[in-house]
Structure 1
């Protein structure tokens, strides 16, 4: 029975007639079918069907926006880590070392290869953010990833191997699988940045399960008033995929975690985690002075904005009485924050920082989305 089911899905998975929306008309697929205002009781059933169809398409748009936001933020984060590597490598060797192990390429791991994990891998490869040889995937069914393996990507069912190898580990597993996955990884994540997309599990809980302090957790919460964005003219058109959406600058802006016009609630904790991750990257590459680490981080996050030097001074002020960052352990919120004064609080108060961050965020993602390697890895 299992064999027959797998064979059926393999041969019929791409047939349009079997998709859920195959019975809808073209105008209904656009999500813009108007609902009648005045209907008699005899038409109530038709009204309910139209209502359900409309909301179905809005859910599809929201799902696309969620996937795009996750992929766009991942592309941005990996890109700025590579910029930190380059900024350090461009400095004179007598100022500080390039790296402790002599390597500059980032190794990326993905644990969990459902819809999000697969989209994430395809986008990182498609946009040229990483090379196939630098990607490691752990999934329960690696035998089904022949196309990825043929490109030189390591596909296995070995969470421990992937987390030991990766510089950045994207957690894309289900919440119900997290405890099992965490047991495989405990004690193996000393220098790895864990970037979690596991929904419904807090950053503190993930740190506890993994016994790792270097964890980034994104929330991807839609604003309560974002429905009109999907109902009016919108870049989140039905029928687009993630790659097509990220080729649209309007979509990129709406995935920014600090944009006022974004679909998402502002995620100040995410940006605070970015700052910590970049500074820890500098520590591991032997940037010994606190001010130099902060200067590199701010130039990567904010570009040449006037807010760069201003926020550098703010960070120095916050860390003035904290543990020297050149000594272990890594920089954490415990070392860089107090109840009334934290990086997150300063970002919330500083509109210039938010605007500069969003402008640089869009530039970074848009630069990747313009590469000629587009559509190299088709998604079935």
Structure 2
């Protein structure tokens, strides 16, 4: 009987799958002609998920590195070593994710994979923490206590539905530290309303837009997993907040999002007590691949961030990320007009994902 079963199974493997690519079994076959006109939304939805995860991974990776370089500088070690894992002392960047549904869980996956985040530096507050066994087994603390979460983190990702946001904001607004960066994924909520609800200007909101009719038919594989997409350099470059190739994009990142990221980075360094000169050195190391052996010739200067005059040995003033997202700054055109800065930023942006690919290739992923 066993041998007969084996022969039948081997025969079945030889037979072609006649249902493969059969039109009547495809998702689109059940749609009306009017519904089929909306299929392009699947492409946009996937592109938004990939962009959210890519930018969040970059954001956390470079902020983490900047934090370690700052403590390294304070300890009078080499300023531009760009070493994260070998530091004797680590200044942890504590990250909280409020809401762990589809978007939140994707971001958590990517932060653990690409953002060089230690599991014990990441916490999740969700209404159903018992469903997050996978993250708990990795060492991530999962619970349902929004106030506890926001009171203990440097970076807060809010990944709840827009309808839930007013209630969540009311609950946490009085417990947010002025230095906590709030990264809200609900782009349908106007930025001004978000500021009013959360009572903070330290907000990052990765909004997206597209040109109607110009990108509906882009060649884009929306069936691939987000993690797979982030191993493709061309796809990752499409999420770069300073990209100039807008005509090639399915969705376009928020106009001033990259500027806000860099200004928030300087806020973090100023909170650590670093001067303008020290902050700019670390900025170029962490975000523009500068090392002792390879310096950026077309360096950013104080005037690219701040119109007033202050001494290089003073701290940068506190920047309102809300104002930068709303009105921009001189920084974006400055970077886009500098091929060297663009190339350096693009290289560092891809490095976030390339380092994981390299470690995975040599079976060195934890």
Bin the TM-score by the shorter chain.
0.7 to 0.9
In the alignment, is the contact (CA less than 8 A) between 1:322 and 1:336 conserved in 2?
no
Q: Aligned pair 1:296/2:291, yes or no? A: no
In structure 2, how many angstroms separate the alpha carbons of the residues matched to 1:310 and 1:178?
42
What is residue 143 of structure 1 aligned with on the other side? 130
Q: Aligned pair 1:195/2:183, yes or no? A: yes
Question: Which digits, 9 at most, give the CA deviation of each residue in 1:204-238, with x for residues without a partner?
Answer: 332222122211111132344222323xxx4x252
Q: Aligned pair 1:246/2:230, yes or no? A: yes
What is residue 5 of structure 1 aligned with on the other side? none
What is residue 93 of structure 1 aligned with on the other side? 75
In the alignment, is the contact (CA less than 8 A) between 1:307 and 1:352 conserved in 2?
no
In structure 2, how many angstroms separate the alpha carbons of the residues matched to 1:372 and 1:337?
36
In structure 2, how many angstroms separate the alpha carbons of the residues matched to 1:317 and 1:60?
39
Q: Aligned pair 1:256/2:240, yes or no? A: yes
What is residue 61 of structure 1 aligned with on the other side? 43
Question: Which digits, 9 at most, give the CA deviation of each residue in 1:253-302, with x for residues without a partner?
Answer: 12222221443325331112111111011112221x21221232233222
In structure 1, how many angstroms separate the alpha carbons of the residues matched to 2:309 and 2:204?
21
CA distance change for structure 1 residues 339 and 50 in 2, over 3 Å: closer, same or farther?
A: closer
* SS of match in other structure, 2:192: helix
CA distance change for structure 1 residues 179 and 109 in 2, over 3 Å: closer, same or farther?
A: same
* Structure 1 position 356, deviation (Å): 3.7
Q: Aligned pair 1:134/2:121, yes or no? A: yes
What is residue 7 of structure 2 aligned with on the other side? none
Unaligned runs of 5+ residues in structure 1 are 1-23, 34-45
In the alignment, is the contact (CA less than 8 A) between 1:107 and 1:135 conserved in 2?
yes
In the alignment, is the contact (CA less than 8 A) between 1:319 and 1:335 conserved in 2?
no
Once the two structures are superposed, the pairs formed by residues 1-380 of structure 1 within 5 Å of their partners are: 26=21, 49=32, 52=35, 56=39, 58-91=40-73, 93=75, 104-127=91-114, 129-190=116-177, 191-224=179-212, 225-230=214-219, 234=220, 236-238=221-223, 240-259=224-243, 260=245, 261-287=248-274, 289-304=275-290, 308-313=296-301, 315-316=302-303, 318-319=305-306, 321=308, 330-332=318-320, 342-344=330-332, 346-347=334-335, 353-372=341-360
* Structure 1 position 316, deviation (Å): 2.8
In structure 1, how many angstroms separate the alpha carbons of the residues matched to 2:78 and 2:319?
19
CA distance change for structure 1 residues 307 and 219 in 2, over 3 Å: closer, same or farther?
A: farther
In the alignment, is the contact (CA less than 8 A) between 2:209 and 2:252 conserved in 1?
yes
Q: Figure out how many residues of one structure are paired with residues of the other and give that number.
A: 329
Question: Which digits, 9 at most, give the CA deviation of each residue in 1:298-345, with x for residues without a partner?
Answer: 3322224999553522x4355252678956973226998998963345
Unaligned runs of 5+ residues in structure 2 are 1-18, 80-88
In structure 2, how many angstroms separate the alpha carbons of the residues matched to 1:363 and 1:318?
25
* Structure 1 position 48, deviation (Å): 7.7
Deviates more, 1:199-208 or 1:248-257: 199-208
* Structure 1 position 246, deviation (Å): 1.1
* Structure 1 position 74, deviation (Å): 0.5
* SS of match in other structure, 2:218: helix
In structure 2, how many angstroms separate the alpha carbons of the residues matched to 1:339 and 1:197?
20
For normalisation by structure 2, the TM-score amounts to 0.75
Question: Which digits, 9 at most, give the CA deviation of each residue in 1:173-221, with x for residues without a partner?
Answer: 1111111111222232222111111121233332222122211111132
In the alignment, is the contact (CA less than 8 A) between 2:183 and 2:205 conserved in 1?
yes
